[in-house]
Structure 1
Amino acid sequence: MRTESPGSARDMRGAESRSAAGGQTLLVLGASGDLTGRLLLPGLGGLLAGGTGGGLFLVGSGIDDWSDARWRQRVTESFAAAAATGAQVTATTDSALYLRADVTRPEDLRGLLAACRGPVVIFFALPPAITAKACRALTEVELPTGTRLVLEKPFGTDTAGAAQLNELLATLVPEEQIHRVDHFLGKSTVLNILGLRFANRLFEPVLNAEHVAAVDIVFDESLALEGRAGYYDSAGALIDMVQSHLLQVLALLTMDAPPTVDARELRDRKAQMLRATRLWDDDVRACTRRARYTAGEIAGRRVPDYADEAGVDAARSTETLAEVVLTVDTWRWAGVPFRLRSGKAMSATRKEAVITFKQPARVPDGLTGYDRPDRLRIGFGPDRLAMDVNINGPGDPFRIDPVTLGVDFGPGELPAYGEVLRGVLDDDPTLSVRGDTAEQCWRIVEPVLSAWREETVPLLEYPAGSGGPEDSLLAKQLPFPAPGTDPRAGA
């Protein structure tokens, strides 16, 4: 029986002799986990194949007793999945090193850092609780100059927890060297929001409360739990998607034009919008919905009841669909409802932001058929831009027909994690979430989380493969009454 602890001299022996020369080291904590194999390594492979990250030394670490060969096999398979080839891909794979370690032990972390070369990027591909313990352990370790810390969402577990973690990280490295990554911000279409808004005079003048009736930001997927109960059952849809990804998109859609896309300017504008965001009329019961899927069928495949999925604790009442209606209390957006929704095991995948414009003041008498407002749709998967407009169609010239004008963007140069990693390796925090922003995201959803935990809002159900619960907020008539007004009086 093995008696040494993870990270012992036996595990670390020969680390320096096995190290390869490189400009900087990417140290992955949680190297044997799902996130590393499914997202992180394919993103890195795409980055390397594109000619970025030359000379990178890749070190993986975890509690699993892997050999270098086992780790290199995982790297090879993940790079192959991303169709990543080339000299840099091969060099990084061949020199990759794996060290078994308990990352909550300062002595193990010292051993890991001793095996690194050049500036070190520490990527915490770990559950939030383990990440926090590892960061506390790092306070007892002397970090190499220029060390960057990369943390996955969710960042903390609530507002107070995020603030405490921020304070802890500030004792390790400066804020500019902390990358709270949200791979959703690496999606090319999300980044294209900035170009769409600020490089086109056609759109920006009408993106305000005078012309916009409502904004929906939706991330529905036909995928069910897919074996992710270990993380998802303790998080749920609100934390997994709304608290992080969808609020970041809201900030990009609502922010005023920055003078440049410099990291500081961009992140300042996003933070300003999130500080102005709160629950619509502070009414949790009226403006939030939570639900979870029951047994059903998706594309001919039977899906079990969420409560019966492996690893799920049914007593937790974890939601697989979350809806919230928010208001952004600024001069530009006051009175416009922002409806955010994320759901699993839905009938179809729908990943888009939809800006619904107000009806014309008057449609001339004699024109018939008009029944749909104009909409601007920004798709996140597939990446697509579309406009729903009304025109005089063929046939009767006095009849208005709805049409959709659209363009496909095609895939970005890099997968989302490749974009995020490029920023990290280049020490560019533009796509990273700043500390104060992370706290604001928790502040926005905290009243909802509290009410849901107290069962103030019932947990609804919807069959897997359906469009969600019947009482969905997205199915309700637009627009919502303005905050503080009599709902019977209209908006």
Structure 2
Amino acid sequence: MINRLLILGATGDLNARYLLPALAALRAAGHLDDRFELTCADQQDWTVEEFRRWASAQLDRHARAEPGEVRKAIADCARYRRVDATDPAGLAAIVAGDGPVAVYLSLPPAIFPGTVTALSAANLPPGSRIALEKPFGEDFDSAVELNRLLTEVVPEQGVFRVDHFLAMTTVQNVLGSRLANRVLEPIWNSAHIAKVEIVWNETLALEGRAGYYDGAGALKDMVQNHLLQVLCLVAMEPPFSLGERDLRDRKIDVLRSIRLMTDDDVVRRTRRARYLAGRIGDRDVPAYAEEDGVDPKRRTETFAEVELELDSWRWSGTTFRLRTGKALGHDRKEVAVRFRPVPHLPFGFEEEAAPNVLRFGLEPESMTLALTGIGAGTRSLAPLTLAAQPAPPELPAYGRLLLDVLHGNAALSIRGDEAEEAWRVIAPVMSAWSRDLVPIGEYPAGSDGPASVRSG
């Protein structure tokens, strides 16, 4: 296990909301001890004490579930250094020391190439690792180049492309439920499943993220990485093991099986839109184009929907719908597996039997199975729902991922060829949208989304 962690971009939102609380959870669970060294670096002209006070305030806000002494221990162990993340000399001074270091790039993706190049010249100690957040590049070509730069610094086994969705308990349950239950795996195919919806609709609007989001949009921010990764776990063939090679090999098989869209496909099978002014709960939300830091000329979408088909024996004939939207009236974050209707219903029943739906709630975590049973009369049918609540995880998603980085377990990391293949899948959509083949719609904040959205 590596006992040295360097977080670059340490005064940003990611460190405040996720990384520092994850470290507190690791400490509380006994995974970190007093030998652990935490160095936080950014361009803010802060002293160590100023950073520790800031870190303490963030932990009190975002890690309230952890004991006070644990939060204090994490804040007190942090050392702060002012550095330009693209300066080789500055980085060399920080990474110098005994033993390998794990470097976490909590930075805007646009400066990943410059930072990786600087780390290459900074002479990282042998055995060091690099973790970086999505998106991995801006398109296929930039992803290939970023992967090339990374392998000049550390071997592929030392690169951790972080997607926290893969560490969410219910995302893991998608894989566990289908592979560990005999009742599901035999029917986990297109003969029985008509459609799979992977949805991340949220009531949150831009929330001050214009600096990143306006240059990305819903397609790159959610569909190209998070939702495609969930699709891989839903659709993959059973791996020989849950080791990093077997699991990631099966995921890349799924990505390679996705049928590339033509322009006509993109017009028929994708939708995009952005929110107008509206009201969500008790708060008024301005139109996206009027949010601070947004350039209306970019026509950035806040809603994206893509329907994909897989050219494989298991999934030919099943539709996979990936959908995400911001500033909607209700949160809906789930995987919905919709089974085909029964082939025959005995004569005499008064209603049609609704198709079964298996839902994996991603946030909050839940599992439900919609069935049909006998209603009040012997010939009437009525819906019947079976519900389960997964046990709470020992660690938050980022805690699991940080522990994997420190231990060198790359099973939940995105491999380089995965990152490139995901861009290949989305490239035709990006191209068609850039040429306005699919007009950008609009929807009021607080609504169910654009009118063109298909129900389901």
Query: TM-score scaled to structure 2, two decimals?
Result: 0.96
2:133 partner letter:
E
1:37 partner letter:
A
* Structure 1 residue 459 corresponds to structure 2 residue 443: no
Residues 292, 314 of structure 1: alpha-carbon distance in 2 compared, 3 angstrom cutoff? same
Paired with 1:411 and 1:357, the residues of 2 have a C-alpha distance of 28
Equivalent in the alignment of 1:289: 271
Q: CA deviation at 1:410?
A: 4.5
Paired with 1:232 and 1:357, the residues of 2 have a C-alpha distance of 35
CA contact (8 A) 1:56 1:92 kept: no
Give 1:469-484 correspondences, 5 Å limit.
469-472=450-453, 474-475=454-455
Q: Over residues 14-53 of structure 1, what are the superposed CA-to-partner deviations in whole Å (9 max), with x where a residue is unaligned?
A: xxxxxxxx96211000001111111111112111111112
Divergent runs of 4+, >6 A: none
Q: Mean alpha-carbon deviation: is it higher for 80-89 or for 144-153?
A: 80-89
Picking from 316, 319, 329, the partner of 1:337 is 319
Equivalent in the alignment of 1:256: 237
Equivalent in the alignment of 2:10: 31
Equivalent in the alignment of 2:364: 382
1:72 partner letter:
R
CA contact (8 A) 1:391 1:403 kept: yes
Equivalent in the alignment of 1:186: 167
* Structure 1 residue 141 corresponds to structure 2 residue 122: yes
CA contact (8 A) 1:294 1:462 kept: yes
Q: CA deviation at 1:371?
A: 4.8
Q: Over residues 343-383 of structure 1, what are the superposed CA-to-partner deviations in whole Å (9 max), with x where a residue is unaligned?
A: 00111000001111111111111112225211111110111
Unaligned 5+ segments in structure 1 are 1-21, 477-491
Give 1:248-397 correspondences, 5 Å limit.
248-279=229-260, 283-393=265-375, 395-397=376-378
Picking from 36, 48, 66, the partner of 1:68 is 48
Q: CA deviation at 1:117?
A: 4.5
Give 1:416-435 correspondences, 5 Å limit.
416-435=397-416
Give 1:121-140 correspondences, 5 Å limit.
121-140=102-121
CA contact (8 A) 2:261 2:429 kept: no
Paired with 2:2 and 2:197, the residues of 1 have a C-alpha distance of 44
CA contact (8 A) 2:210 2:293 kept: yes
Count of aligned pairs: 452
2:50 partner letter:
R
1:233 partner letter:
D
1:73 partner letter:
R
Q: Mean alpha-carbon deviation: is it higher for 155-164 or for 275-284?
A: 275-284
Q: Mean alpha-carbon deviation: is it higher for 279-288 or for 101-110?
A: 279-288
* Structure 1 residue 247 corresponds to structure 2 residue 228: yes
Equivalent in the alignment of 2:195: 214
Q: Tell me the secondary structure at the aligned position of residue 413 of structure 1.
A: coil
Residues 462, 279 of structure 1: alpha-carbon distance in 2 compared, 3 angstrom cutoff? farther
Q: CA deviation at 1:95?
A: 2.5
Query: TM-score scaled to structure 1, two decimals?
Result: 0.89
Paired with 2:121 and 2:107, the residues of 1 have a C-alpha distance of 20
Paired with 1:225 and 1:92, the residues of 2 have a C-alpha distance of 30
Equivalent in the alignment of 1:173: 154
2:57 partner letter:
E
1:43 partner letter:
A
Q: Tell me the secondary structure at the aligned position of residue 139 of structure 1.
A: helix
Residues 374, 335 of structure 1: alpha-carbon distance in 2 compared, 3 angstrom cutoff? same
Equivalent in the alignment of 1:204: 185
Equivalent in the alignment of 2:206: 225
Equivalent in the alignment of 1:479: none
Percent identity of paired positions between Structure 1 and Structure 2: 47
Paired with 2:301 and 2:391, the residues of 1 have a C-alpha distance of 33
1:242 partner letter:
V
Residues 35, 109 of structure 1: alpha-carbon distance in 2 compared, 3 angstrom cutoff? same
* Structure 1 residue 56 corresponds to structure 2 residue 63: no
Q: CA deviation at 1:91?
A: 3.9
Q: CA deviation at 1:74?
A: 2.8
